[in-house]
Structure formats: structure tokens, C-alpha cells
Structure 1
Amino acid sequence: MIDQATIDRILDAAQIVDVVSEFVTLRRRGVNYIGLCPFHNEKTPSFSVSPSKGLCKCFSCGKGGNVVHFIMEHEQLSYYEALKWLAKKYNIEIKERELTTEEKQAQSLRESLFVVNQFASEYFQNILYNDIDGQRIGMTYLRGRGFRDDIIKKFQLGFSTESHDALAKAAIQKGFKEDYLVKTGLCYRKDDGSLRDRFWGRVIFPVHTLSGKVVAFGGRVLSAATKNVQMKYVNSPESEIYHKSRELYGIYFAKQAIVRQDRCFLVEGYTDVISMHQSGIENVVASSGTALTSEQIRLIHRFTNNITMLYDGDGAGIKASLRGIDMLLEEGMNIKVCLLPDGDDPDSFARKHNATDYQAYINGHEVDFIRFKTNLLMEEAGKDPIKRASLISSIVKSISVIPDAIVRSVYIRECSQLLQMEEKILVEATAKLTEQAREAKFKEEQRKQYRAQQQTTAAPTPPPSTNKEEQAPQVYPETAPLPELIPEVSSAEPEQLQPPFPVDIVPPEDSYQSYIPVTGNEQKIFYEKEQELMRVLIRYGEKVMCYIENEDGEQLPFTVTECISSGLAEDELQFHDALHRRVLKEAETHIHDENFIAERYFIASPDPEISKLAVEMASDRYQLSKYHSKGQKIVTDEERLYELVPRLLLDFKLAIVTEEMKHTLQALSKPEIANDPQRCNEIMQRYKELHQTQSLMAQRAGDRVVLKA
């Protein structure tokens, strides 16, 4: 972890205009700068950069933040990777917390393996460009495939001679340990203990991580070196740093194009990716000949929801398409499939067409998964009723794994029209499969819990029942039982009828309970007041609002954060929004830290939800009004915090208590509550407490609130 002092140094040094200018052409407009947004296609500049606030924001797509968030979004890096990127740019030494001995050993090994791979990559490139065999065999092959020199250099392609230990000797001569050469998979030991190169006599394709590190290699044997070699391609084995199920070839070169186009093309091999890049289509990755995995799909999902699978038009390509469809659907991806003309693969097709023609072909021939699968299987089934039934089951199974109920419904309707079947039958079949999948998942979770319990307890215990009807609902098994409060819901919101507990119960550390529904409150008065308090908290949380006197007569500063926190606690109230509660809790924790500045702290938060909220609240678009009279100086919010914060706080508390009382009354009207005297009394007592609190606050506000029965 990077210590806070180093983070502060990076944020102080990194000028947002300087950093953004590396990727966006900016021009000054008043005190700010504007340019075309790098995160979506636009013709009119809507991307604004504020050097005074250190923020950027696109008022069209909404993306933005501070300099760290910009690098995170543009380069698709994690928070700490973005900090390291900026530290390198400004020559700031990274100081990280002291690691344990085990962490140091693991980190040292990983870093060593990456260093060895980088050496190997440079070695292979040097052979390709400067060795006679590299030029005569390797470069001739690559140029014969139609690859330009700039593309060869971009993908860092290389060559390994037919010497079986040339790399091993070169690495050892440079001081690299034999053990590391074996652990990376670059070499392996023979029976006599000597090292042998894994990739001898091959063209080399380095595999890069998302951040650009060389994590593995693929090697293709050439015609001049095929003697006694059975496998056309050899790939690095699994290692401490390489897990083939988590890597995608070309993702490092494609990530920005994927974000820009909001679409990813998925192909099979190295040369498919390279040829498409050369033709001008850069938002493409490959599964490197392995079966598509959930980890690979989630990696793509970080950049886009839309994926087009490009495969050969032969039988193998079609089967490959079908294998990956259900996995992509299960991850919530929007899928289209495009089969190339029979006899062509993405590589050969790219060499025959430029980007415009290639794109036009895809746009004209890609189809959504339901049409693709239906047309394909219907052709196979013909008029055979058994095969037709099997086809329908297969399609319904694919639809059932889609997590979004609305998307499932749309596909069911389309499937009904294509197959000329009653929609009701398909709905029932899909619901049955969905329930079976849910049941299987539930049982698997129970098995995992049982196994974990067996590992942590000395005495064996019988496995828990997998019959959901025999078990009481468990929402947060690590917390104490919660009172049964009935949330207010409408018939239009059936999903909120399920839990017999407060609708806004959140993780164990958050004890907030409420009858008010979690969502749909954006237009409510209390939510508007809550947001106004959050804006003040984030902008001025550390500001001294006034001074209070303690028992010893000392004058102590009273900050905005402390005023909001103590004001809510006074009436045993909390913010309704869980994210707002988290922000207030962090502000309370750090308010007395040296040099704590709320706006800066929350904008730089590694938590993306908090940082996004802070950027929104700090933006001038949401600036609170300034009060002034004719001929008088404008009074800013900061200058009137002593009266602004208490007024906003009281307005919010009155509004949320009123809303809570309304939903409490509605809960009392439910038949299941009215017929349960104990629960009815509990809720009536809660209503009475709220009414007393409301009366006290109304008196403070100088007004009396009268509720009509």
C-alpha cells in the first residue's frame, strides 16, 4: 500500500491540465479548459478541466474526477496503479507500507518473474531484428503474413533461433537465476538437469497484462523448423504470474479503443488480433485458442457491455460460438455473433479488406445470439419434432441464464415469434430453469459453508439442509437477529416484498433501519435536503463553523462535520442513503487528522463510489446559491456556515421524520400487522417516538406540525 504522505505528494505534483493534455487537445475558456471528451465520440467539446479545483468532467457522458480518476478511466488502471503512473511521470519515489516477510517474498518472486519475462521479450526482439536467422527466417515469415514493420514493433514480436539453449545461456550470463527461468516457463529442465529453451525455432508472440507487463509468450513453429516438432503453437505454462484463464491477448493494446467504441471483438488467435489492428480495427482481443472463461469475460466487461464474436465460418467456428454464448449471457453481456465467409478467418479476412470494408461486413452480417442460435439449430433440426424440442430447450436454457429480467423478457418474446410458439410456454420453461439454477446455486453455497465450518471446527457437524423451505431466511448470518419491520412497498414493486426486515439494512457495521424504500426517493423532499447536507459536508467538512465552550471554559472549534454528526445523533437519526452514511462516517474518523481537507480527501478516495459522489458535489454545476443585496458584497456559503448548516440540518430532520411517519402508518394498515398485537404495538410505539421527535424539531423551527389522523 502507498502511504498517505506519498499520495499527497503525488496529488500536489500532478497538474490536471498537464496530464489531460497528453491525451486531449485543450483550449482555454475563461478560467477553465475545454476539449473533446476522450471517453465517448463527440463533435462539440463538452469535456471541461478546472485547474483551480483539480477536476475534470464531461457534461455529456458524466465521466470525470481528479487527475487520478482521469488516468484510471483513460488507461483502465486501478487506483494504486494510477498513482504509480503519475509518480513515474513526476519522478516521485513511491513509499509503501512495510510488508510482512511472506508478502515480501511473494512480491519479490513476482517482480523477479516479470523482470525475466521482460528480458526475454527484448532478447527475442533483438534476435528478430539483428540476428541473421531472425531476419532470414523470422522477419521473412512475418512480412510474408502481410504484417507491416510498425505492427511487428507495436506487438513486440520476436524470434528464437533453433539453438535449444541460446536464451538460457544469455539469461544466465546476464545474472538471472535458473530457477526463475524455469518458473516463468521460458525454460525447462531435461533429465540430466540441464536447461532447454521452450520456444526454440519459433516466432514469438508476447502476452501482455492489462498494464502492459509481459506475462507469458506464445511461439509458432516455422516451416523451416518443423522437423521433429509436433505442436504448431507452444504457450507458456501456468506460473506465479500467469494464469491463462485470466488473460486476453491484445487487451493492453485494445482497452482504449474498446472504451471509445463501447464494443469489443472477440477472436481466437494471435494473428487474428494483429491483422485486425493493422486493418484499422483495434478494439479486438483473443482468447488465445483456449476456451473462453468467466475471468476473461469479466475483464472485457470492465470496458464494455457489448461484444461481437468473430469466428471462422466452418463447423469448428460455429461450435466455438455456441460454447461461449451462455457464459457471456450469464455475465450480463450484450452478444452478437458474426461468422466470416467459409474459408476465411479474421486474419485472412483482414488481409483482404481495409477497416471500412471489414466494419461494413460485420455490421451487415452480425446477428444477436437468439437469431444466430435459432437459425443455426433450426437448420439442423429440420422437421424432426424431437430435434426441434431439443432446439427450443437449448435456446430457453441460454435465455434463462441472463441476469436481467427485462432482457430475458425481451428475448423470450423474440424467441416466441421466431419459433412460432406461445410466449406463455417459453416464460414457464425459462422460469423453471431459472429456479433450478437458483436452487443449485443455493445448495452449492450451503456446501461451501459446510466445508468451511468443517475446517474451522474440531468436532464434525451434520451438513445444513439444502431444502430452502426448512430454513429461516439468512440475510446477514454474522449479525444479531434484526427486528421484523415491514417496508412500505407498492404493488408495482414486487421485488421489495420479499425481505421481512428493513429494506435498507446494509453491511454489519451499518445499523440503519427504516420503513422508507431504498430506491425511488430522488424526488422526495428529505432526499433533496440530504443531498444539500452532503454538498456542504464534502465542500466544507473540515471548516470551523463556530466555537463552543467546554467544562473548563476553553473555546473549542466546532467543524461542519461535527455539527452534522452531533445534530443527527441528537435525535437518533441517520442519512437514508447508505453511501452518504459511509462518507459521514469517514469524515468523523478523519476530521481531526492533520491537514485533513474534506473535498480533497473524498475526491481522492480509492472507493470509486465515494470519489464519484465527491466530484459531483464539488462541481460548480451543483454550487449552492450566494446571498447578496443590491450594492452589497456577495456572501458565500463558506462565510455563512454558522447559520446555513443548522438550517439545512433541521430541514432534513423534519423532512425525513415526516416521511418515516408516513411509511410507518402505512405499515400499520397491513392486515398481517393489524392481526399481530405484539408487532402492532411495537410499530405504534415507534410511531409515537417519531411524533415526539417531530414535535420537538418543529418547536426548534419555530412552527408546530399537526398531523391529520
Structure 2
Amino acid sequence: MRIDPETVERIKQAAAVADVVGDYVTVKKKGANYWACCPFHGEKTPSFSISPSKGIYKCFGCGKAGDSVRFIMDIEGLGYGEALRHLAKKYGIDIQEEELTDDQIVRQNERESLLIILEYAKDFFKKQLIESPEGKSIAIPYFKERGFSDSTLQTFDLGYSPESWDIFYKTAIKHGFSQEIIEKAGLVTQKNEEGKVYDRFRNRVIFPIHSVAGKVIAFGARILKSDTKNQAKYLNSPETEVYHKSATLYGISQAKNEIRAKDICYLVEGYTDVISLHQAGIKNVVASSGTSLTVEQIRLIGRFTQHVTVLYDGDSAGIKAALRGMDLILEEGLQVNLVVFPEGQDPDSFVRKVGYEAFLEYIKSESKDIISFQANLFLKEAGDDPFKRAELIKEMVQSISKIPDAIQRSLFVQKTASLMRLDEDVLLAELNKIHLKNLKQRGGAGANASESISNQTWQEIQEIIEPTGQAATETQSNLAYYQESECIRLLVSFGHLEISPSKAPGVTLMQYLIEELEGTHFQTPLFEEILEICKAEFNQHRFPAPEFYLHHQNEEIQKFAIDISAGKHSLSDVWKDKHDIRVKLEDEMLEDLAFKNVLRLRKVYNDQHLHETLEKMESFQGDADTMNALLLDFIHYKEIQKNISQELGTVIEK
């Protein structure tokens, strides 16, 4: 069911954005707004602004923006409907729901059914751990041997799946679950041509995998009997509607608040590493769920902190995995260090051996950044061999090239130059070669790389390699973007206001712009979408105020509205009250703003046509009649250009 609009509005009105954000970070009032250190990226100076009057927030550091619903979606990893239900529960609002379409019902019902059967399976496995003879004699001793307390078993919902072929399947069917939903949840599998169904996790201890919001979405399982042949030691749930392995971190639900509070995340390999560290008091720890570290997992960590310390085993495979992971983390803009444990130790065994304080002290003393780690690991091996040292230096520069921040890259270049006793210019030249190679690869074989990357990035790298001494001129497409953006800004901010109460009473800015832009299609998809929304509202005789866009369900529209309305600074009343300085506001000159915006927009589009026509003429190879038609088009567009320039009072093009 979908929550009806009236209930949505009640939830949004009740969920004051400052209160909602204040549940996660400390907020302080400053003038009309509140400020906080952003919970989405690490910072020491508050740049996260909360506007109670508008019901929105915006971080001027990382760009995150939204309202109370969007904040819960991002911080808890929930969908729009789930976030609304979360807030409704918090503020005691009864939810009224309306009918969905058949397709929406099927999709929502399947997702909800999967979550229900997975929750049921978790409870079943927990019960088997505590009550079944196998659980008591096999699984409980295994967990106790690893040092897990009863409290830890509860915190991580650990369980056991009996050796019986289909006890879970039969029990679930008996309790009303369909075979189809049990199979879709990945809890059973078929073994023969007859289609006989068997429990997937037979004879294994169970590690439930939770979403950020704490819902069970999958299971990991470890076999216990050592004499079992042809069976994998570890087994995970398959991909489902609710479980995507590459976007999931084991332990994130239990760790998220501590990661945010400590502003650092410890990343380990295994389930038991997470559980042992958590039990020892180190709760800001997650694992990559039995997969190689992915970009999606790194971005999930990045929602809670910008600082990651990778804790991997001391064997060669663990070290290689750690290095691959560090490059990925660097590429996503997070700050990363690495700790390798003594040979034969992993985070689980080491924390049980030395305890909480000694473990943290070891991390503090052994934690190394990527350059220091590579130097310590490979420098002795390379010795004075120039070829080996050159290979090592190239690997170090390759890692530095992943860092998006220019200042950080520069500092790491300095550090590498010092460690390897090299001139910085040599490393910078190698770094630039890597950047250019990457850009060309992104452009495709034989293609112009500038077509596949941003103009700004391409111009920057070209400036490094072949300095031009002057900035590139703006393209017509950029000019179109700017003018379309300005038009939408006026619609969002002032569309509900009369354009000129004295000259045209009752005519809103929205009406004026929609009529003037009849037949116009914006080139920027987001702006075209907003324009179509405005037309639909206008056709219903509605003229939305900025709040309509500030709290829009579409994240892109909401972010654009917040970006144009949120500012770090505002005009001081002292100007007017003390110095008698009067500053004319935009809402007092809408007629002039709208008129000039429409003219500039038309000029940009006309100039595009003019440029295209000129290009056709320069490369034309055809009959005289077609050439004459092109010439007439050129004269037509040139005349329009001249007329608009005169209207705008700008220089008339020759």
C-alpha cells in the first residue's frame, strides 16, 4: 500500500528537520539556522546547515541536501516509504494508505514477503541453536570456543541450521509460507530432476546479514563437521530482490552509530573478526561479506565516515587483497590506512589474545598509509636493484593517481620522493602520464577522450601537458545549461508570485514563462523534467511555492531546489537599519528578470542554430539550391541574433 498524500504531509510537518538530524549529530543554533558537523563526511568545522523555516538541510562541504525524509533515507539506508514509516512511528502518526497499481502491489508484496520469510528463518535458526540437540552439542560449543558470549549471540542473531535435509522447508510450509517465496529468499535449493527441495544451509552455524536499517536480508553459514566431503566451508545466500552482495557490509547495522561517533571504520575480512572485535568493545567494524571489496561497499562506509583502516591477515593473499582494497578506497576519496597482523594472526585471534587496549595500541602503532606500507613491504626486497625499485615506484605512483584530491596527491608525491630519494618532477611526470592514459582509455580506442569525460577535466589535463596560457571559452552547450538553469531557478523560487502586480495583476511568473516557452524543449533532462512538472501544475490551475520543490520526492529536483535556496550568507539588517542602504530584491524585479532570461535563452538556442548552419556551409559539397537554402537560414539566424542583442542592450554581432 502507498501512504496517502495527506498522511505524508502530516509526517513531514511533525518531523522537524532539526530534531530529526539532532538524533544523530550535535546541532547548535546560530542565527535563524542550526549548524552541525556533517554526518555524511568527516569534518571538524561545521558546514552542515539546517533551516527550520524551510524544513531543509544542506552540507556546504559534501553537497548533501534534503528534508527530514531524505535525511532518514540517506542515514539509515531506507527507501522513501520506509523512511516515512520510520518517522511516523517516531512521532506517533497513524499511517493511512491508498491502493497501488497491480504491478506495484506485486513488487511491494514480494519484497515484504522476502523480508518476512527471512525474519522467520532468523528466528528459526536461533531457536535451533538454543533448543535442538545438535545446536546444544555442536553449534553452541563452537561459538563458546570462539569466546562469544550469550549477549553477543543475541546482538548478531547467530543461529544453527540442523543436518536434516528439509526441516526448515517443511516447518516454513507448515506455517503458511509458499515454496515460491522460500526459494526466492534463497533458503532452499533443488538437488535432482524430480525437483525435490532441500534446505540450503544444512548442518551449519548461521550468521544473519542485516541491512543498514537492521532488517535481515541474507545469511552466511559455516560448516562445522571436518569430515564432510565436497561441501564448501562457507556458504552465502544468493542474490535476491532484497540482497545485493556487492552493496552489503556485514555488521553495518551494529556498527553505524559507533563509526559515526568515532569517525573511523575498521574494515576486516570475516564474520568472526567483526563479532570478536565488537564483543571486545571495538564496535566500529564491518566486513566485506565474503567478497572482494567493491565501490558500493566503500560508498556505504563513506556515508558514515571518511576514514577507513583496513585490518587484514598477515599472509600474502591478505596483503594483496588489502592493497587492492586500498586503491579502491583512495579512488572514492576516503582516507585509508592499513594494519597487517603478525603471521598466523587475524583480527579475531589477535584481539582475543591481547585484549581491547593492547589491540587499539597495536593499530595505532602499526597503522600505515598506502605509500609507507608499500615502502616498508617492498623496499627491502628491492634493495639496490634499479629495475625492482623502478617497479615499486611505479606501483606507488599508480596508487597516488587514484586520489581525487589534488592537495593530498601533492603531499603523497612529496613523501614518495623523500622515501625513494627522487626528484618530485620525475614523479609528477609519471603521474601525469597515468592520468592521460586513463583519460584516453575512458574515451575508447581511437576516440577523442574529451568526448567521454567532462570538458573541465580534459581542459585541466591538456593544460598540464600542453599549456595554452588562456582559459578555454565556454561552449554553446554550457551557455544553454546556464540559461535553462536560470529559467528553472526563477520558476522554482518565484513561479507562484505575480510577475508585475501593477501592470498585469493576477499573472504569475509561472504563467508568463510557460506561455513564452511554448514549444521549447530544454536540453538538460533535469530542467526539462521540472518544466514539464510546472506545465502539469499550471494546467491544474496550481502555482506551487518553493516548498513544493524543496520537499519533492525526486531527489534531483529536491537537491536543485535546495541548492538555489540555501546560502551560507544573507544580507544584514544593519545595512538597512543603521546605514540606510536599500538593496532591491529579486521578487521586486521579476518582470525584468523573466524578460531578459527568455531573451538570453532564445539567443543561446539561435546561436546554436547559427553555428550549426555555418559548419554545414563550410563543409558543404552539393547543389546550388541547397547552398542557397543554407545561406538564407544563416541570414535568418543572424537577423534574430542582432535583434535579441539590441533588446538586451549588448554588443551587436557583425
The bucket for the TM-score relative to the shorter chain is: 0.7 to 0.9
Q: 2:591: which partner in 1?
A: 646
Q: 2:447: which partner in 1?
A: 468
- Distance between the aligned counterparts of 2:365 and 2:329, measured in 1? 22
Is the 1:573–1:653 contact (alpha carbons within 8 Å) kept by the matching residues of 2?
no
Q: 1:66: which partner in 2?
A: 67
- Distance between the aligned counterparts of 2:546 and 2:509, measured in 1? 13
- Distance between the aligned counterparts of 1:397 and 1:28, measured in 2? 42
Is 1:602 matched up with 2:549? yes
- Distance between the aligned counterparts of 2:537 and 2:393, measured in 1? 59
Deviations 1:310-361 (Å, cap 9, x if unpaired)? Answer: 1123333222212333333444443321113344322233335666654443
Deviations 1:566-598 (Å, cap 9, x if unpaired)? Answer: 78x69x999999988876675455345465532
- Distance between the aligned counterparts of 1:500 and 1:540, measured in 2? 34
CA-CA distance at 1:267 after TM superposition: 0.6
Structure 2 residues without counterparts, runs of 5 or longer: 454-458, 605-617, 620-632
Instruction: Provide closer, same or farther for how the CA distance between residues 58 and 112 of structure 1 changes in structure 2, counting only shifts above 3 A.
Output: closer
Is 1:614 matched up with 2:568? no
Is the 1:564–1:645 contact (alpha carbons within 8 Å) kept by the matching residues of 2?
no
Question: 1:128 is paired with a residue of what secondary structure?
Answer: helix
Q: 1:166: which partner in 2?
A: 167
Instruction: Provide closer, same or farther for how the CA distance between residues 261 and 592 of structure 1 changes in structure 2, counting only shifts above 3 A.
Output: farther
Deviations 1:37-86 (Å, cap 9, x if unpaired)? Answer: 68289999998876664445789998664221231343233445423533
Instruction: Provide closer, same or farther for how the CA distance between residues 49 and 410 of structure 1 changes in structure 2, counting only shifts above 3 A.
Output: closer
CA-CA distance at 1:288 after TM superposition: 2.8
In structure 2, which of residues 101, 108, 118 is the aligned counterpart of residue 98 of structure 1? Answer: 101
CA-CA distance at 1:210 after TM superposition: 3.4
Q: 1:543: which partner in 2?
A: 497
Instruction: Provide closer, same or farther for how the CA distance between residues 128 and 595 of structure 1 changes in structure 2, counting only shifts above 3 A.
Output: farther
Is 1:206 matched up with 2:205? no
Q: 2:373: which partner in 1?
A: 372
Question: 1:335 is paired with a residue of what secondary structure?
Answer: strand
CA-CA distance at 1:645 after TM superposition: 2.5
Q: 2:627: which partner in 1?
A: none
In structure 1, which of residues 494, 505, 527 is the aligned counterpart of residue 477 of structure 2? Answer: 505
CA-CA distance at 1:124 after TM superposition: 1.0
Is 1:216 matched up with 2:218? yes
Question: 1:505 is paired with a residue of what secondary structure?
Answer: helix
- Distance between the aligned counterparts of 2:635 and 2:423, measured in 1? 49
Question: 1:341 is paired with a residue of what secondary structure?
Answer: coil
CA-CA distance at 1:239 after TM superposition: 4.5
Q: 2:508: which partner in 1?
A: 559
Question: 1:152 is paired with a residue of what secondary structure?
Answer: helix
CA-CA distance at 1:513 after TM superposition: 3.5
Q: 1:395: which partner in 2?
A: 396
> After superposition, where does 1:249-264 map in structure 2 within 5 Å?
249-264=250-265
Is 1:275 matched up with 2:247? no
Instruction: Provide closer, same or farther for how the CA distance between residues 563 and 310 of structure 1 changes in structure 2, counting only shifts above 3 A.
Output: same
Question: 2:477 is paired with a residue of what secondary structure?
Answer: coil
Q: 1:147: which partner in 2?
A: 148
AA partner of residue 16 (structure 1): A
Is the 2:128–2:160 contact (alpha carbons within 8 Å) kept by the matching residues of 1?
yes
CA-CA distance at 1:308 after TM superposition: 1.9
- Distance between the aligned counterparts of 2:593 and 2:365, measured in 1? 57
**Which stretch of structure 1 is more off in the superposition, 358-367 or 643-652?**
643-652
Is the 1:24–1:35 contact (alpha carbons within 8 Å) kept by the matching residues of 2?
no
CA-CA distance at 1:146 after TM superposition: 2.9
AA partner of residue 543 (structure 1): L
Q: 1:482: which partner in 2?
A: none
Deviations 1:498-520 (Å, cap 9, x if unpaired)? Answer: 999853626xxxxx548xxx8xx
CA-CA distance at 1:369 after TM superposition: 0.9
Instruction: Provide closer, same or farther for how the CA distance between residues 594 and 9 of structure 1 changes in structure 2, counting only shifts above 3 A.
Output: farther
CA-CA distance at 1:134 after TM superposition: 3.4
Is the 2:267–2:311 contact (alpha carbons within 8 Å) kept by the matching residues of 1?
yes
Q: Name the % identity.
A: 37
Question: 1:289 is paired with a residue of what secondary structure?
Answer: coil
In structure 2, which of residues 529, 537, 541 is the aligned counterpart of residue 590 of structure 1? Answer: 537
- Distance between the aligned counterparts of 1:143 and 1:625, measured in 2? 65
CA-CA distance at 1:388 after TM superposition: 2.8
Instruction: Provide closer, same or farther for how the CA distance between residues 619 and 435 of structure 1 changes in structure 2, counting only shifts above 3 A.
Output: closer
Q: 1:459: which partner in 2?
A: none
- Distance between the aligned counterparts of 1:60 and 1:332, measured in 2? 13
Instruction: Provide closer, same or farther for how the CA distance between residues 496 and 209 of structure 1 changes in structure 2, counting only shifts above 3 A.
Output: farther
Instruction: Provide closer, same or farther for how the CA distance between residues 419 and 606 of structure 1 changes in structure 2, counting only shifts above 3 A.
Output: farther
- Distance between the aligned counterparts of 2:584 and 2:298, measured in 1? 48
- Distance between the aligned counterparts of 2:107 and 2:46, measured in 1? 47
CA-CA distance at 1:271 after TM superposition: 1.3
- Distance between the aligned counterparts of 2:18 and 2:401, measured in 1? 49
- Distance between the aligned counterparts of 2:25 and 2:333, measured in 1? 35
- Distance between the aligned counterparts of 1:49 and 1:418, measured in 2? 45
Is the 1:6–1:95 contact (alpha carbons within 8 Å) kept by the matching residues of 2?
no
**Which stretch of structure 1 is more off in the superposition, 323-332 or 6-15?**
6-15
Instruction: Provide closer, same or farther for how the CA distance between residues 473 and 293 of structure 1 changes in structure 2, counting only shifts above 3 A.
Output: closer
- Distance between the aligned counterparts of 1:71 and 1:424, measured in 2? 47
AA partner of residue 116 (structure 2): V
> After superposition, where does 1:283-682 map in structure 2 within 5 Å?
283-352=284-353, 358-402=359-403, 407-443=408-444, 466-468=445-447, 502-503=474-475, 505=477, 512-513=479-480, 538-545=492-499, 557-563=506-512, 586-587=533-534, 589-593=536-540, 596-615=543-562, 641=587, 643-646=588-591
Deviations 1:580-622 (Å, cap 9, x if unpaired)? Answer: 8876675455345465532221111244454345346556976
- Distance between the aligned counterparts of 1:4 and 1:21, measured in 2? 25
AA partner of residue 291 (structure 1): S
Q: 1:15: which partner in 2?
A: 15
- Distance between the aligned counterparts of 1:410 and 1:35, measured in 2? 31
- Distance between the aligned counterparts of 2:62 and 2:199, measured in 1? 50
Is the 1:84–1:94 contact (alpha carbons within 8 Å) kept by the matching residues of 2?
no
CA-CA distance at 1:122 after TM superposition: 1.3
CA-CA distance at 1:121 after TM superposition: 0.8
Q: 2:611: which partner in 1?
A: none
- Distance between the aligned counterparts of 1:16 and 1:175, measured in 2? 41
AA partner of residue 547 (structure 2): R
Is the 1:41–1:260 contact (alpha carbons within 8 Å) kept by the matching residues of 2?
no
Is the 1:66–1:604 contact (alpha carbons within 8 Å) kept by the matching residues of 2?
yes
- Distance between the aligned counterparts of 1:216 and 1:124, measured in 2? 13
- Distance between the aligned counterparts of 1:370 and 1:43, measured in 2? 25
Is the 1:27–1:33 contact (alpha carbons within 8 Å) kept by the matching residues of 2?
no
Output the TM-score relative to the length of structure 1.
Answer: 0.69
- Distance between the aligned counterparts of 1:386 and 1:27, measured in 2? 55
Is the 2:183–2:189 contact (alpha carbons within 8 Å) kept by the matching residues of 1?
yes
Deviations 1:206-234 (Å, cap 9, x if unpaired)? Answer: 11233433222112234xx4443554333
CA-CA distance at 1:153 after TM superposition: 1.8
Is 1:228 matched up with 2:228? yes
Instruction: Provide closer, same or farther for how the CA distance between residues 188 and 41 of structure 1 changes in structure 2, counting only shifts above 3 A.
Output: closer
- Distance between the aligned counterparts of 1:306 and 1:210, measured in 2? 18
Q: Which has the higher contact order (CA 8 A, sep 6+)?
A: 2
CA-CA distance at 1:123 after TM superposition: 0.8
RMSD: 5.5
- Distance between the aligned counterparts of 1:317 and 1:427, measured in 2? 30
- Distance between the aligned counterparts of 1:42 and 1:500, measured in 2? 34
AA partner of residue 142 (structure 1): F
AA partner of residue 558 (structure 1): V
Q: 1:679: which partner in 2?
A: none
AA partner of residue 467 (structure 1): G
- Distance between the aligned counterparts of 1:137 and 1:405, measured in 2? 55
